[in-house]
């Protein structure tokens, strides 16, 4: 039998059967595209691992296409290091460096320093506000963060560090740990308006 004589719906059904990662055809015979499952977040590293990761800089991992068929979102993963006896619940935000009024935020529970933010491709600043202290200055990811993670002296460059991510990239080992800046010399960003997470 010549394959040119096989109805399109039957051909699509056969194609779908050959690809285990593709959904079955619908009533019209169209096959839905495969959807890449988002990998589960990795377990939060120990504090010493965070310090080592921050000291060496964030890791970059390539990702897959987005679920909506457009560009895949990027993922920012890390930990907030808080200079206190207990770790309060936090509002952790990725703030668009090009539009500081917009960003993506999540709230962490008390004693849970790990975070994962899903953002579109772009450049992002990271900040964390303690939820129990509404007027408190945020912790930041700055040019001093790697120095602070290594517990060195002279960590003086408190300018915000923009993290650039492309579509589908995953940045890991991000340390929001700079609570030691002078807000007059290095004004922190305002909390952004919340944006819906990209798909």
- The answer to whether 59 touches 76, Cβ cutoff 8 Å, is no
Tens of pLDDT, residue by residue, the chain (199 residues): 443 433 333 333 333 333 333 333 333 333 333 333 333 333 333 343 444 444 445 554 444 444 556 789 999 999 999 998 889 999 999 999 999 999 999 999 999 999 999 999 999 999 999 999 877 899 999 999 999 999 999 999 999 999 999 999 999 999 999 999 999 999 998 888 766 666 5
Instruction: Tokens for 137, please give them.
Output: 């200055």
Both 52 and 94 in a single domain? yes
* 104 and 148 belong to one structural domain: yes
Nearest to 148 by CA among 187, 175, 173: 175
Q: Which helix (H) or strand (E) holds 114?
A: strand 114-119
Residue 160, SS3 per DSSP: strand
Counting the structural domains of the chain, the total is 2
Written as six digits, the tokens of 171 are: 């940045």
Give the sign of the dihedral formed by CA 51, CA 174, CA 114, CA 80: positive
pTM: 0.66
Cα Rg of the chain, angstroms: 22
- Verify that 59 and 114 share a domain, yes or no: yes
Are 7 and 88 found together in one domain? no
List, in sequence order, the alpha helices (H) in the chain.
8-18, 47-56, 145-149
Instruction: Look up the CATH number of the domain holding residue 99.
Output: 2.60.40.1120
């Amino acid at each position: 039998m010549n394959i040119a004589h096989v109805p399109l719906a039957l051909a699509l059904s056969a194609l779908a059967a050959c690809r285990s990662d593709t959904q079955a055809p619908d009533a019209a015979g169209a096959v839905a595209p495969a959807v890449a499952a988002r990998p589960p977040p990795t377990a939060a590293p120990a504090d010493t691992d965070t310090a080592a990761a921050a000291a060496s800089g964030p890791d970059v991992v390539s990702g897959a296409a987005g679920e909506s068929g457009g560009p895949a979102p990027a993922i920012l993963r890390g930990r907030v290091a808080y200079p206190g006896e207990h770790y309060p619940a936090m509002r952790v935000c990725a703030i668009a460096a090009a539009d500081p009024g917009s960003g993506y935020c999540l709230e962490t529970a008390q004693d849970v320093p790990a975070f994962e933010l899903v953002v579109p491709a772009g450049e992002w600043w990271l900040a964390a506000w303690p939820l129990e202290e509404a007027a408190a200055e945020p912790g930041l990811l700055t040019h001093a963060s790697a120095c602070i993670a290594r517990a060195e002296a002279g960590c003086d460059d408190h300018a915000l560090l923009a993290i650039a991510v492309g579509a589908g990239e995953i940045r890991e080992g991000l340390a929001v740990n700079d609570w030691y800046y002078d807000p007059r010399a290095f004004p922190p960003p305002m909390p952004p308006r919340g944006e819906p997470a990209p798909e």
